[in-house]
């Protein structure tokens, strides 16, 4: 199967640059994955699409202000030559207390052995290793509260298709209302539509709500650089399956109740965790699971998800769940009806 099999035409003016005025004000394209038929609805009506006894699983990862700007303190590369300049750093994964994997732009200026200074020196780090595609490893100097410094110096890492700088409002709107476990570099965007009032209405319908954590990193959003789907390999991302959620999932399975996933990150976590056996066991780990057509879903029976980039691994996952032809047909309808696309856009519900 070719990556180009997951292409579609999207006018750039349909890519949402701002969140809707209200979180629950998004539109929902409800797709019946058996028949391929759809309905145009509003997210505020989403609780009505759930059934008593459903288990709704959400990803409670919290986005960190992972985009930083640094000044290069300088490195003597040869006699009489000293480097300097500004560099952009995107934190992608914490690998120890003070070490992080990052993307550096421009990568050619980020040399192993250099020291980077952030802000007025509240954070300093040495580049200790480098990899492909601008990846680097930084070792930060110890400070009293690293994340407090990050909150002061960092920027919300809006996706590159949002053509503006982040503003203060993004710190709240590019975050789910139930975000708790910090560590993501991008929001689990299907969750951006929920409000406390919507969650209360869902519970009032007799729906159980549980949480997993998957910290969104390069594995979710890395560009596809191969032609064939079979050649795709994702970066690993860290996840946690809490005991309460494992118990909820096991009970739902025993009782034949539907599991509804909010977001592709939740799908990947649940389907990864069931590969080792039928019973869910609480644990933490990492997953590089890649889901494409032909995958056998063992857990998830309904999916809420935003619209995804053409030829992306996330569109492949949704196509695996809903059927490629059904999903691409629904996308063409969404374009014709001028749905808003991607992180701050509208969403789909596949059941």
String of DSSP letters for 136-155: EEEEEPP-S-HHHHHHHH-B
Give yes or no: residues 59 and 77 share one domain: no
Rounded distance, CA 77 to CA 113, Å?
Answer: 10
Examine the fold and report which residue of 130, 153, 176 is the final residue of a domain before the chain moves on: 153
CATH number at residue 127: 2.40.10.240
Q: What percent of the chain has pLDDT over 70?
A: 95
Burial of 198 (0-12, 13-18, 19+ CB in 10 A): middle
Residue 162, domain member (yes or no): no
Residue 132, domain member (yes or no): yes
User: In angstroms, what CA-CA distances link 267 with 212, 299, 319?
Assistant: 10, 8, 13
Give yes or no: residues 78 and 39 share one domain: no
Q: Which helix (H) or strand (E) holds 199?
A: helix 196-204
Give the tens place of pLDDT for each residue, 96-121: 999 999 999 887 778 899 999 999 88
Across residues 266-277, what is the average pLDDT?
91
Examine the fold and report which residue of 121, 153, 185 is the final residue of a domain before the chain moves on: 153
Rounded distance, CA 295 to CA 232, Å?
Answer: 14
CATH number at residue 333: 3.40.1780.10
Model confidence pTM above 0.85: yes
Rounded distance, CA 86 to CA 88, Å?
Answer: 7
Give yes or no: residues 121 and 195 share one domain: no
Examine the fold and report which residue of 92, 121, 153 is the final residue of a domain before the chain moves on: 153
Residue 49 has pLDDT above 80, yes or no: yes
Give yes or no: residues 238 and 302 share one domain: yes
Residue 276 has pLDDT above 80, yes or no: no
Cα 301 versus chain centre, distance: 20
Across residues 311-315, what is the average pLDDT?
96
Give the tens place of pLDDT for each residue, 58-69: 999 999 999 999
Residue 108, domain member (yes or no): yes
Residue 79 has pLDDT above 70, yes or no: no
| β-strand partners of 153 | none
Give yes or no: residues 19 and 135 share one domain: no
The reported pLDDT for the residue numbered 84 is 54
The sign of the CA dihedral 146, 151, 153, 155 is positive
Give yes or no: residues 131 and 173 share one domain: no
Give yes or no: residues 175 and 131 share one domain: no
Residue numbers of the domain that contains 93: 67-153
Nearest to 292 by CA among 311, 273, 270: 311
Q: Which helix (H) or strand (E) holds 288?
A: none
Give yes or no: residues 274 and 127 share one domain: no
Across residues 125-142, what is the average pLDDT?
89
The CA-based angle 157-195-347, given to 5 degrees, is 65
Number of H helices, E strands in the chain: 8, 19
Give yes or no: residues 291 and 311 share one domain: yes
Give the tens place of pLDDT for each residue, 173-223: 999 999 999 999 999 999 999 999 999 999 999 999 999 999 998 766 677
Give Cβ neighbours of residue 30 (< 8 Å, ≥ 6 apart): 38, 39, 40, 41, 49, 348, 349, 351
The reported pLDDT for the residue numbered 74 is 58
Across residues 273-295, what is the average pLDDT?
92
The reported pLDDT for the residue numbered 223 is 79
Residue 254 has pLDDT above 80, yes or no: yes
User: What rounded mean pLDDT belongs to the chain?
Assistant: 93
Residue 18 has pLDDT above 50, yes or no: yes
Neighbours of 77 (CB within 10 A): 12
Residue 291, domain member (yes or no): yes
Across residues 137-151, what is the average pLDDT?
96
Tokens at 339, concatenated = 């749905």
Give Cβ neighbours of residue 45 (< 8 Å, ≥ 6 apart): 28
Rounded distance, CA 141 to CA 149, Å?
Answer: 12
Number of domains in the chain: 2
Residue 160, domain member (yes or no): no
Give yes or no: residues 142 and 172 share one domain: no
Rounded distance, CA 212 to CA 173, Å?
Answer: 20
Q: What percent of the chain has pLDDT over 90?
A: 86
Residue 76 has pLDDT above 50, yes or no: no
The reported pLDDT for the residue numbered 109 is 77
Burial of 157 (0-12, 13-18, 19+ CB in 10 A): buried
The reported pLDDT for the residue numbered 325 is 98
Rounded distance, CA 141 to CA 143, Å?
Answer: 6
Give yes or no: residues 83 and 227 share one domain: no
Neighbours of 34 (CB within 10 A): 10
Give yes or no: residues 133 and 217 share one domain: no
Tokens at 23, concatenated = 């979180």
Residue 231, domain member (yes or no): yes
């Amino acid at each position: 199967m070719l990556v180009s099999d997951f292409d579609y035409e999207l006018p750039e003016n349909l890519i949402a640059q701002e969140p809707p005025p209200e979180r629950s004000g998004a539109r929902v394209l409800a797709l019946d994955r058996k028949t391929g038929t759809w309905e145009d609805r509003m997210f505020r009506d989403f609780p009505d699409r759930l059934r008593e006894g459903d288990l709704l699983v959400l990803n409670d990862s919290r986005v960190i202000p992972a985009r930083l700007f640094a000044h290069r303190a300088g490195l003597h590369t040869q006699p009489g030559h000293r480097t300097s300049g500004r560099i952009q750093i995107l934190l992608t994964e914490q690998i120890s207390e003070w070490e992080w994997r990052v993307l550096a732009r421009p990568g050619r200026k980020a040399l192993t052995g250099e020291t980077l200074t952030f802000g007025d020196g509240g954070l300093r780090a040495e580049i200790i290793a480098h990899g492909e595609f601008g990846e680097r490893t930084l070792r930060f100097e110890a400070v009293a509260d690293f994340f407090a410094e990050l909150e002061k110096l960092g920027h919300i890492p809006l996706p590159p298709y949002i053509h503006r700088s982040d503003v203060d409002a993004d710190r709240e709107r590019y975050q789910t209302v139930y975000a708790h476990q910090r560590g993501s570099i991008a929001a689990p965007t299907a969750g951006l539509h929920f409000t406390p009032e919507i969650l209360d209405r869902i519970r009032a319908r007799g729906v159980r709500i549980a949480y997993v954590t998957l910290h969104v990193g390069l594995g979710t959003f890395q560009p596809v650089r191969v032609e064939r789907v079979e050649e795709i390999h994702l970066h690993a991302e860290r996840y946690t399956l809490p005991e309460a959620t494992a118990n909820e999932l096991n009970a739902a399975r025993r009782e034949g109740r539907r599991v509804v996933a909010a977001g592709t990150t939740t799908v990947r976590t649940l389907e990864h965790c069931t590969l080792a056996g039928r019973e869910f066991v609480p644990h933490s780990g990492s997953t590089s699971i890649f889901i494409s057509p032909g995958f056998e879903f063992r857990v998830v029976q309904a999916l809420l998800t935003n619209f995804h980039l053409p030829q992306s691994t996330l569109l492949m996952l949704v196509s695996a769940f809903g059927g490629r032809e059904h999903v691409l047909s629904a996308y063409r309808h969404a374009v014709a009806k001028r749905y808003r696309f991607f992180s701050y856009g509208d969403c789909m519900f596949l059941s």
